[in-house]
Structure 1
Amino acid sequence: MEYLKKIKLKDGRECILRNGNERDGQAALENFILTHGQTDYLLTYPDENTMTVEEEAKYLKEKRESEKEIEILAEVEGALVGLAGIGAIGERDKIRHRADFGISIDKAYWNLGIGTALLHACVDCAGKAGYEQIELNVVAENESAVSIYKKAGFVEYGRNPRGFKSRLTGYQEVIYMRMEL
């Protein structure tokens, strides 16, 4: 699936939202490790990453060639500052209408509009891919993310008070959210 869009950030800079490709393997892997160390709200820790640069490059190539999935990179002044994507929940008849959403952004670029732009890009791509529902999990105390998701049209459909077990703070409540497309 192809995607390319330029947006203007709140600070006036330009941000390019585009597909990842094989040449982005190193930068994408570095961004993943960086962002997963900057917040305790993401699913994994940097040391849990098992992908190599070559595997990341292959992953980005597969997403670019997919008709149903995508990984979108956010670039500011030539630097990769964020990643977001959609993936199939599964291929079985009963669940093939559902997509999963994930996002991470370098903390130095928070509150500039990148997250909202990546979210809308992924929702748009999910609709074009034929999904009828997009889903995500968010840590309840991550109020800014919850607010962004609600503003975009996601609704809460459940909570797990022990959804994550943080190395730093213990259990974190996870909110399950979905949007019908």
Structure 2
Amino acid sequence: MIFDQQEFNIKGLAYSIRSAKEKDAEALSSLRVQMDGETENMNREQGEGFIDPAGFEEIIRLDEEKERNLFLVALVKGRTVGYSRCEGVDLKRFSHKVEFGVCVSKEFWGYGIGKKLLELSVDWADSNGIEKMTLNVVGTNDIAMELYKRMGFEIEGTLKKDRRHAEGRYYDTVMMGRFRGWGGRN
């Protein structure tokens, strides 16, 4: 799905959000590795699950073709600083929903970029007949969970000790979902 570029200015930071393009592939590949090393909130450790630029080009091409997929990038002065993705599946029993994921470079936390990526994705889902959005979040990421709740997501379950990080400590994964038409944004 293609999403036209929109401009935002929050706390003095000007940024834009638009659909990912094949020309973004190299920056996305580097950014993903960078962000995996910046925070424990990601599913991967730095360098794991590496996607090279050709892999991102293929993901972007497929997402442009599929009605139930949306791949957004956030740019500051032309530099890719974050992205989000909604991915649906082709199985009929699950065709009513998409899974959402988001990440923003730590340097740009606090400017509402992640929130704006989420808002645009929710609006897209609601206006395209998608009935449910799901996501997973590490149980210690209270800030993200509060944002998701404000956007209408509810906790649907918790996978206890689902993740084991490098230091050997276990973390829960919280599964959240949002049904279309929930009007409680703020």
TM-score clears 0.5: yes
Shift of 1:50: 3.4
- Structure 2 CA distance, aligned partners of 1:73 and 1:150? 23
1:105-130 deviation digits (Å, cap 9, x = unpaired): 10000011001000011112222332
SS, match of residue 67 in structure 2: coil
8 A contact 1:20–1:61 mirrored in 2: no
Residue type of the partner of 2:23? Answer: R
Q: State the partner residue of 1:62.
A: 62
1:152-178 deviation digits (Å, cap 9, x = unpaired): 111111111212121235211111110
Q: State the partner residue of 2:143.
A: 144
Instruction: List alignment gaps of at least 5 residues for structure 1.
Output: none
Instruction: Name the structure, 1 or 2, with higher relative contact order (CA <8 Å, separation 6+).
Output: 1
Give TM-score scaled by structure 2 length.
0.91
- Structure 1 CA distance, aligned partners of 2:25 and 2:94? 30
RMSD over aligned CA atoms reads 1.3
SS, match of residue 94 in structure 2: coil
Instruction: List alignment gaps of at least 5 residues for structure 2.
Output: 181-186
- Structure 2 CA distance, aligned partners of 1:76 and 1:46? 23
Give TM-score scaled by structure 1 length.
0.93
Residue type of the partner of 2:162? Answer: G
Identical-pair percentage: 25
1:125-158 deviation digits (Å, cap 9, x = unpaired): 2223321000011111111111111111111111
- Structure 2 CA distance, aligned partners of 1:160 and 1:9? 35
- Structure 2 CA distance, aligned partners of 1:34 and 1:131? 31
Task: State whether structure 2 residue 47 is matched by structure 1 residue 47.
Answer: yes
Q: State the partner residue of 1:23.
A: 23
* Superposition misfits of 4+ residues, deviation over 4 angstroms: none
Q: State the partner residue of 2:38.
A: 38
Residue type of the partner of 2:10? Answer: L
SS, match of residue 176 in structure 2: strand
8 A contact 2:29–2:50 mirrored in 1: no
Aligned pair count reads 179
